Chains A and B, each alone.
Chain A
Amino acid sequence: MSTPSGRNIGNILVIDLTREKIVKREASPETVKQYLGGRGFNSKALFDMIPGRIDPLSPENVLALASGTLAGTALPMTSRLHISTLSPLSGILGDGNAGGEFSAMLKFAGYEQIIVTGRAEKPKYVFIEDDEVEIRDAEELWGLTTGETVDWLRDEHGDEVSVAGIGPAGENLVRFATTMVDKYHSGARGSGAVWGSKNLKAIAVIGTKGIEPADPERFYKMAKEDIDYFNRNDFVRRIYSVIGTHYGLIQWYPSWKYFQVPLSAEELPIGLRPQDLAEYEVGRTQCFSCPLACKDVYYLPSTGEYGTASEFESIYALGSNNCITDTEEILRMEHMADEYGMDVMTLGDTIALARLLHERGILSDEDVKGVSLEWGDAEGQIQLIEMTAYRKGFGNKLAEGYRNFAKLYGEEALAYCYDVKGVNRGWYEVNFIKGIFTLSHATSTRGADHLRGRSWAYWENDKLMDIEVVRGMLEAGLPDYRKDPVGALIYGERACTLADSLGRCKGSINSWLQAVPLVWKYPVFKGTAMLLTAFTGMEFTEKDVIDATDRIYLTEMAFNVKQGIKKKHYDVKFPPEFAATERAKAQVRRHWELVDEYLERRGCDVETAYPKRETLEGLDIGYVADQIEGKEFPEWDGPVGEVA
């Protein structure tokens, strides 16, 4: 085994589907120290294995799945499976993480990471039971929904099996198809289509080994403090465990009619309020080792189906942003997206964009023949969702996903496409809160994203929870976003990189409390260093942890450089009407000032946005500089290759 203690860091499994070859290798202690695990491992694998611009749906693409370093332990909420690939949606790094039980099971089976390459000739699935790994025929599974796939594999291998895989959308190469874990947990940015392109339907895993921290007592003591904190926290118990992310409907201003109106709590239509959604709730559930239970289990009387996790994003993207307020229809759409395996945000945003383009006459009636793009037409939207999953008719265009979809209709359409590096911005505030919102979307290494750092940097939600935590964090060195937005963002990006690499959930509530442990007691990086030292038996200092997060982030930036990302791609788009105003122009000027400062402080070249050699060498990853320094890469303009 790879680390001094033996039973805490698993092996790496490399599966070549073309040759049907399976190789197991150890994760070296150096790699653990440098890249921690989870997202860090994946980003390194992608950087090492993908030389430059390739078609994300070609066999050369790499699909990497990693459990976080601390998955499967009693440190709560540490059950995120990180899934990374060259995204068929954006054409840059595409990663996301999903909950469920897969990451713990993978760790119990003795693996840290699975790397899939090549393309199988016929549909296959992979079955893992501890040391045994097999590539099996999946012809019977091809075409099944995610729910049916999981049920089939449970019948075959027993109820304890945990499954990551795809539904029909992934098979049909929908560019925002997701990797679905245990039916309902989804990891976005198009990884599902990569599974489909590789003819890989699913990976099923059963793990029965144990995980042993190097210093068990010390590790458990900290983990238990963490559990105690969640178990006692008022916000968690009274709000989060009761309505989950639906509380965002009250607090985060869900947008109405393609980002035109942000809805305050008072303006929220009947049908979209948390209590309306609760009418359909029959229970609550959560991922492995999570004390929160943020996910609702709902029942749909009209179809007799059960679904779960109708999060804030699904309600705004499928609902309010398309002017749909029928609670049950929205839940039904959410469930359909899960069953087909599609990302609800890109799905909802792309449909809303289509509605807007049609309204403005950019999409002609001829273009949208046979489908209804009336605002608020729920039945029509259900049809559109199905057509998208199977790439039928107009659905074939929607399946290209947000920016690629707009590109089909020219510059005029692109003007209404609010993306960064090919990824829809999702809901965002036009208000320029010290620049953090736009800056954080621009600097995210997987395209526009609120979970790459912003929520931390901007104290989102924490104001509601525990002002003492904010005070403590400021005392411990967190820059105040009102005085130093760039510093605050970099801090936030480090913290989120860390959470993704340890396997800690941050998406659930994107606050400090949930992101990384022990912040109420120790500064976050120091606390994490203590945890990692106790777990791995290798000495981690606060600086080691911060350096590791920077190493991961800069490796990701360098990966994107190889995909043709230039400084100009750090721009952000506003609605054209707003962009023409003086206020918007002032915001854009300020934005570029902040981008320059950001690149400078990240150790990147301010003109090219390339990470500098000296920065990379300072982090002992000079090999990254070797691949990008002095090189020109063709400019990025979305993913290479055509499907539609």
Chain B
Amino acid sequence: MFVLAVIYENCTGCHLCELACSFKHHGVFDLSLSRITILTKPEVQTSVQVYCLQCRDAACERVCPMDAISRDRNGAYIINYDRCIGCRECAYACPFGAISFEVEARPIKCDLCGGEPECVAVCPHDAIVYMEEKKAARELKKAKAAGVAYGLYGGKETSEHPRKKAEEAVEYLMKLVEKSGELDV
């Protein structure tokens, strides 16, 4: 079983996933038509990612009076628009606000792009992963552990400290500077 997971520590709030998502499904760049929503305060690094978690026991599926929502082989809950009557019950029932509706009460939600999520393909900071369940859990653990270690040491001396990262960057840069002297085109 594959899951789509957001490692929110990695998200910088650039909105590329939303542009890619709305394009993939609607052929337009339109934040309100994206199945994933990043709520940001752009100037400080805080963002909240709203997206469908494909719950094991999904409220949207249960409340749909027309049985229009069902799971496909990738584990994505898919809306059958031939059956959907546009009552928006699924959107109201979703505890995460992950279902939105277009004009004329057409609910839209993440369908995992048939197994190749576009948001994952464009995310610059590996903040969205689509992985086999166990692997995804491990990635998540690693990200959290780094954060915890950072906290435990009072933000010092771990490989996650910005100073540490900056030192590495400078070291790499110095190497490039040395090398660039020898290059000639």
Q: Report whether chain A binds chain B.
A: yes
The DSSP consensus for interface residues of chain A is mixed
B1 close to A (CB within 8 Å)? no
Contact A283 B44, beta carbon cutoff 8 Å: yes
A362 close to B (CB within 8 Å)? no
Residues in A whose Cβ lies below 8 Å from that of B43: 100, 150, 182-184, 285, 297, 308
Q: Which of B117-170 contact A (CB under 8 A)?
A: 121-122, 124-125, 161-163, 165-170
B76 close to A (CB within 8 Å)? no
Stretch binding the partner chain, chosen from A384-392, A418-426, A466-474: A466-474
B12 close to A (CB within 8 Å)? yes
Partner of B173, one of A7, A251, A291: A251
Q: Beyond A212-B28, A247-B169, A275-B167, is A220–B23 a contact (Cβ under 8 Å)?
A: yes
**Nearest chain A residue, comparing its CB with the CB of B24:** A220
Roughly how many angstroms separate A634 CA and B65 CA in the complex, as a whole number? Answer: 78
Most buried by B among A210, A227, A235, A474: A210
A188 to chain B, nearest CB (A): 18
Contact A285 B45, beta carbon cutoff 8 Å: yes
Q: Beyond A242-B168, A247-B169, is A474–B177 a contact (Cβ under 8 Å)?
A: no
Residue interface bits A290-319, CB-to-B below 8 A is 1, else 0: 111100110000000010100000000000
A73 close to B (CB within 8 Å)? yes
B33 close to A (CB within 8 Å)? yes
Partner of B14, one of A212, A289, A296, A470: A289
Contact B44 A216, beta carbon cutoff 8 Å: no
Contact A278 B29, beta carbon cutoff 8 Å: no
B13 close to A (CB within 8 Å)? yes
Q: Which of A225-239 contact B (CB under 8 A)?
A: 227, 230-231, 235, 238-239
**Nearest chain B residue, comparing its CB with the CB of A237:** B124
Contact B166 A274, beta carbon cutoff 8 Å: yes
Contact B12 A286, beta carbon cutoff 8 Å: yes
**Nearest chain A residue, comparing its CB with the CB of B45:** A283
A330 to chain B, nearest CB (A): 16
Residue interface bits B50-62, CB-to-A below 8 A is 1, else 0: 0000000000000
Residue interface bits A150-166, CB-to-B below 8 A is 1, else 0: 10000000010000000
Q: Beyond A210-B29, A251-B177, is A279–B14 a contact (Cβ under 8 Å)?
A: no
Tell me the count of chain B residues lying within 8 A, CB to CB, of chain A.
44
A76 close to B (CB within 8 Å)? yes
Contact A284 B12, beta carbon cutoff 8 Å: yes
Most buried by B among A101, A216, A242: A242
Partner of A286, one of B14, B19, B185: B14
A402 to chain B, nearest CB (A): 28
Contact A290 B14, beta carbon cutoff 8 Å: yes
Contact A239 B29, beta carbon cutoff 8 Å: no
Residues in B whose Cβ lies below 8 Å from that of A73: 19, 29
B101 to chain A, nearest CB (A): 14
Q: Beyond A108-B31, A289-B15, is A467–B173 a contact (Cβ under 8 Å)?
A: no
Roughly how many angstroms separate A117 CA and B2 CA in the complex, as a whole number? Answer: 56
A243 close to B (CB within 8 Å)? yes
**Nearest chain B residue, comparing its CB with the CB of A212:** B28
Q: Which of B22-57 contact A (CB under 8 A)?
A: 22-23, 26-33, 39, 41-45
Roughly how many angstroms separate A123 CA and B24 CA in the complex, as a whole number? Answer: 44
Residues in A whose Cβ lies below 8 Å from that of B173: 239, 247, 250-251, 464
Roughly how many angstroms separate A471 CA and B184 CA in the complex, as a whole number? Answer: 10
**Nearest chain B residue, comparing its CB with the CB of A184:** B43
**Nearest chain B residue, comparing its CB with the CB of A154:** B41
B174 close to A (CB within 8 Å)? yes
Contact A74 B16, beta carbon cutoff 8 Å: yes
Q: Beyond A247-B169, A247-B173, A283-B45, is A464–B180 a contact (Cβ under 8 Å)?
A: yes
Residues in A whose Cβ lies below 8 Å from that of B165: 242-243, 278
A463 close to B (CB within 8 Å)? yes
Q: Which of A241-277 contact B (CB under 8 A)?
A: 241-243, 246-247, 250-251, 265, 273-275, 277
Contact B185 A467, beta carbon cutoff 8 Å: yes
The 7 closest A-B pairs by CB, nearest first: A210-B30, A291-B124, A283-B45, A278-B166, A210-B28, A281-B162, A278-B162
B residues with CB within 8 A of A: 12-16, 19-20, 22-23, 26-33, 39, 41-45, 121-122, 124-125, 161-163, 165-170, 172-174, 176-177, 180, 183, 185
Sample 12 A-B pairs with CB under 8 A, ordered by A number. A76-B16, A104-B15, A182-B43, A212-B27, A224-B121, A227-B16, A239-B173, A241-B124, A241-B125, A291-B14, A463-B180, A470-B185
